[in-house]
Amino acid sequence: MESSRISLLPFRETDVDDVLLWAGDARVTRTTRWEALNSKEEALNFIKEVCTPRPWHVAICIDDRCIGFFWVLYPGSSGKDKTRADIGFAIASEYWGQGIATTVLKMAIPRVFNDFPGIIVKLRALAVLDNKASQRVLECHDPISQAVRAPTLTSQ
């Protein structure tokens, strides 16, 4: 996938049908910490209540179409380390294996540090133990592996 086609954009309510395609797909949500969405109404609530209020809960877009989700949680889930944020990402299954997640992290990581200068100095990604795709995205690509210190593996 040409990186010029990939962008990170705020979610729009008109993305609702595209959001439901991947956020309602158990193959995508199986390895995340959220439940699959079941309806257009849930997808719209997800956009309005979870994503829109948060600056770094953004749509991964190919051309103008939303095909995934990149998020930053600050402070991270433990809440203790105020210099650390957690990140996560999900891509619609029909787009897996085209280098999109790798490109997204390369684009997003410098922007996240730039938006929170001196505040977020570490990023962490959680990956479930059998999530080889996520581990591969995080571990094998410099400078991602340098910016996101070894992914924390969790059994969910």
Ligand X SMILES: CC(C)(COP(=O)(O)OP(=O)(O)OC[C@H]1O[C@@H](n2cnc3c(N)ncnc32)[C@H](O)[C@@H]1OP(=O)(O)O)[C@@H](O)C(=O)NCCC(=O)NCCS
Binding site for ligand X (CB under 6 A): 28, 31-32, 88-91, 96-102, 127, 131-134, 136-137, 140
Q: At 36, phi and psi to the nearest 5?
A: -60, 140
State the nearest-atom distance from the C-beta of 42 to ligand X, in Å: 18
What is the Cα–Cα distance from 7 to 127, expressed in whole angstroms?
Answer: 23
State the nearest-atom distance from the C-beta of 106 to ligand X, in Å: 10
Q: Which is nearer to ligand X, 46 or 89 (CB)?
A: 89
State the nearest-atom distance from the C-beta of 145 to ligand X, in Å: 12
State the nearest-atom distance from the C-beta of 32 to ligand X, in Å: 5
What is the Cα–Cα distance from 85 to 123, expressed in whole angstroms?
Answer: 5
Query: Who contacts 69 (Cβ-Cβ below 8 Å, separation ≥6)?
Result: 19, 22, 23, 51, 57, 58, 59, 60, 88, 89, 90
Q: Which is nearer to ligand X, 121 or 140 (CB)?
A: 140
Nearest to 58 by CA among 104, 127, 120: 104
